[in-house]
Structure 1
């Protein structure tokens, strides 16, 4: 029985794709990778983070520094960030039903809390931020251990293939949402426990686990 629902932030709760796309292109010359074009987005959405890194031509060693700059630039334009329609209602519904809810994100806690406060949604039991692109499974495992929670009591909700991988590595259930970064096609290939098309479906799906 699920007791805890963990969410990714960017692309799952908050609609940040256009902003991050613009920031990433702005930083391309400084960090030595090619810019992406708008018409390439459908193909980009099919790529895993590692495939995206390889295709861009950026050195893997520069990625942590690039992520730090993206977070800093994001903070400067944070007032433009909105939550996806229906997300607030879904979160409040989960809280009302007694689920603990949390966030694990590679964004900063300051950025996340600012957006949540703007939407009167500081309702999360915990927010863990600053994880690396590929380190979420370690954070999930650490939380399970610290709270003495069994993996079958948790579900992780994300919009990327790496979120599905993180959940599988931590042996928790994975829900993939189709309104974020990766396409439905790409997400399906990674075989999440559930694939959700609309935020209002989340409660029903989670209740069935």
Structure 2
């Protein structure tokens, strides 16, 4: 095992309020339904189709609104914090000798700014933005090729069903974290290789591989 690769939003960082702010700005502009803070836990239990119905948002528009959503999100980056235990996990992985990277649908600039504000930027070797929200497997494949890695030499940590699907396509093992955007009811059918309830469990999984 050489690389431990993380998703960012919902895995390393609690960005739910930042994305709620950005989404509600879009909702005002395009007449979608707004998200209330108390709805977030309920939304985590819904799949993409159910979320689109709840928010009056056609799924086919995702590629068109994502750039604007990420740009609006940038305004809230100052308030983003890492989940409890995440920075300690990154420090332990780094100290043990693993290289740590991020592959995310968010922009490289947003991620680097948030890491810097949380004093964790020095722990990450690579930050890569996946250009397509549902094409993360292509980015993972490219990462493996550039780093000259076998699929068995990296593990991915993510929180959404699309992360699991992407890793299955790339033949990369994935750890699903329960504190992210997609709840267990949403992801269990995709059969992640590992499931964890707290960051320290990730370290134990990595050490055993």
- TM-score, normalization: structure 2? 0.90
Answer yes or no: is the 8 Å Cα contact 1:49–1:162 preserved in 2: no
1:65 alignment counterpart = 64
1:183 alignment counterpart = 183
Q: Which moved more, 1:176-185 or 1:83-92?
A: 176-185
Q: Which moved more, 1:81-90 or 1:38-47?
A: 38-47
Answer yes or no: is the 8 Å Cα contact 2:106–2:130 preserved in 1: yes
Q: Which moved more, 1:173-182 or 1:24-33?
A: 24-33
1:156-195 aligned within 5 A: 156-195=156-195
- 1:178 is displaced (CA, Å) by 0.7
2:139 alignment counterpart = 139
Distance 1:181 1:60, change over 3 A: closer
- 1:61 is displaced (CA, Å) by 4.4
Q: Which moved more, 1:43-52 or 1:94-103?
A: 43-52
- 1:21 is displaced (CA, Å) by 1.9
CA separation in 2, counterparts of 1:7 and 1:96?
17
1:78 alignment counterpart = 77
Q: Is 1:49 matched up with 2:45?
A: no
Stretches of structure 1 that go unaligned for 5 or more consecutive residues are none
Answer yes or no: is the 8 Å Cα contact 1:31–1:66 preserved in 2: no
- 1:132 is displaced (CA, Å) by 2.0
Answer yes or no: is the 8 Å Cα contact 2:130–2:139 preserved in 1: no
Give the secondary-structure state (helix, strand or coil) at the position aligned to 2:70: helix
Give the secondary-structure state (helix, strand or coil) at the position aligned to 2:156: strand
1:22 alignment counterpart = 21
2:207 alignment counterpart = 207
User: 1:45-94 CA distances to partner (integer Å, 9 max, x unpaired)?
Assistant: 12333553355332344322321122111111211111111101101111
CA separation in 2, counterparts of 1:119 and 1:43?
28
The two structures, once aligned, show a CA RMSD in angstroms of 1.9
Answer yes or no: is the 8 Å Cα contact 2:21–2:73 preserved in 1: no
1:127 alignment counterpart = 127
Q: Which moved more, 1:113-122 or 1:25-34?
A: 25-34
2:149 alignment counterpart = 149
Distance 1:120 1:84, change over 3 A: same
